[in-house]
Amino acid sequence: MSKKVLVLPGDGIGPEITAEAVSVLERVRDKFSIDLELDHALVGGGAIDKFGVPLPDETLSKAKEVDAILLGAVGGPKWDSLDMAIRPEKGLLGLRSGLQLFGNLRPAILYPQLAEASTLKPEVVSGLDILIVRELTGGIYFGQPRGIRTLENGERQGYNTYVYSESEIRRIGRVAFEAARKRGGKLCSVDKANVLEVTVLWREIMDEMSKEYPDVELSHMYVDNAAMQLVRAPKQFDVIVTGNMFGDILSDAAAMLTGSIGMLPSASLDESGKGMYEPCHGSAPDIAGQGIANPLATILSVAMMLRYSLNEIEAADAIEVAVSQVLDSGLRTGDIYSEGCRKVSTNEMGKAVLEALA
């Protein structure tokens, strides 16, 4: 049966970078004889301009029917003065909640060729390859009750609730164990079990699940130590799994270890493995339309899509190898340029990946 992918180019540099990523997807489709159908739809500012809403019903229903979604980026100054409820970013949130994408996968990979881009010493980060698995739809960001109340003495008090049910922990655990199995076989679960009961339960469930995954080596770490270890010796990690808030903070810190936002892909998965794949960066309105954006984060998002939603591991590996070869050959877009390299456009970078795939 053919697999279906919906492409949502979005705004700003979105259309430029997704065009290159789609060419790469089409190339591996032909090379590895993958039965694949592509469709396109509008989301974000472009959808507001045409339909008055950031996530038209047609886009959401198409998104529900496919196996995976490739998204560029949304937003830009043109729509910044709109009411919060119909801003481009609401399109993304609508997709995440409408499709119940609870598992956020954020790799932080530092190609040795780009080690100089990091603010950390090259020997600490060169060759870094971590995957952070963050729970995306639960935890303290969504727990009820929440709010700001006035106490009897007249003082105001803010409060939130940190909750995770067993099934929520189990489903993100499954994503993380499966990912670790496909990578280096090591999983570190990050919690605050010395203080928070909710993470005592988190830890218990991870331990229970590890019996189903004897091939994955499970360890536990408190979040404060994890933050420290990420900047001290990040290469000790393979896969990290954690809740929504800890994951929010740790994944941004890990991304910045690499120093190059134009290189970082991401995935958000539902229970069946269906996913939305997108670069970690935004729509970069400051460089949109100039043909100079780095398409590699989006191209690497295609590799993630092939690995995690379409189960085409060979094709995913081929794209990652091709990107590394292109970097070896010294081609760089402006954001990752350093002296001695050759500066190329978005399209030249995309073409170079296609050639490396041939």
Dihedral (CA of 31, 37, 39, 43) sign: negative
35 catalytic residue (yes or no): no
Distances (CA, A) of 268 to 96, 176, 326: 8, 12, 27
192 catalytic residue (yes or no): yes
Tell me if 209 contacts ligand NAD by CB under 6 A: no
For residues 236-275, which are near ligand NAD according to CB under 6 A?
261-262
CB of 298 to ligand NAD, least distance (A): 8
Q: In what helix (H) or strand (E) does residue 82 lie, and over which residues does it extend?
A: none
Tell me if 286 contacts ligand NAD by CB under 6 A: yes
Tell me if 103 contacts ligand NAD by CB under 6 A: no
Of the candidates 165, 162, 179, 183, which has an alpha carbon nearest to the alpha carbon of residue 269? 179
Of the candidates 63, 57, 48, which has an alpha carbon nearest to the alpha carbon of residue 11? 48
**From 30, 49, 207, 224, active-site residue:** 224
Instruction: Select the span of 32-40, 54-62, 122-130, 279-287 touching ligand NAD (CB under 6 A).
Output: 279-287
- Which of 48, 55, 179, 293 is close enough to bind ligand NAD by CB under 6 A? 293
Tell me if 90 contacts ligand NAD by CB under 6 A: no
Separation of alpha carbons 239 and 107, rounded Å: 9
Tell me if 98 contacts ligand NAD by CB under 6 A: no
Separation of alpha carbons 135 and 289, rounded Å: 35
Tell me if 281 contacts ligand NAD by CB under 6 A: yes
Number of residues that bind ligand NAD (CB under 6 A): 23
Tell me if 23 contacts ligand NAD by CB under 6 A: no
Distances (CA, A) of 214 to 43, 177, 180, 181, 204: 42, 10, 12, 10, 16
Tell me if 118 contacts ligand NAD by CB under 6 A: no
Of the candidates 145, 94, 106, which has an alpha carbon nearest to the alpha carbon of residue 244? 106
Residues in touch with ligand NAD (CB under 6 A) = 13, 17, 73-76, 89, 92, 261-262, 278, 281-287, 293-294, 297, 333, 335
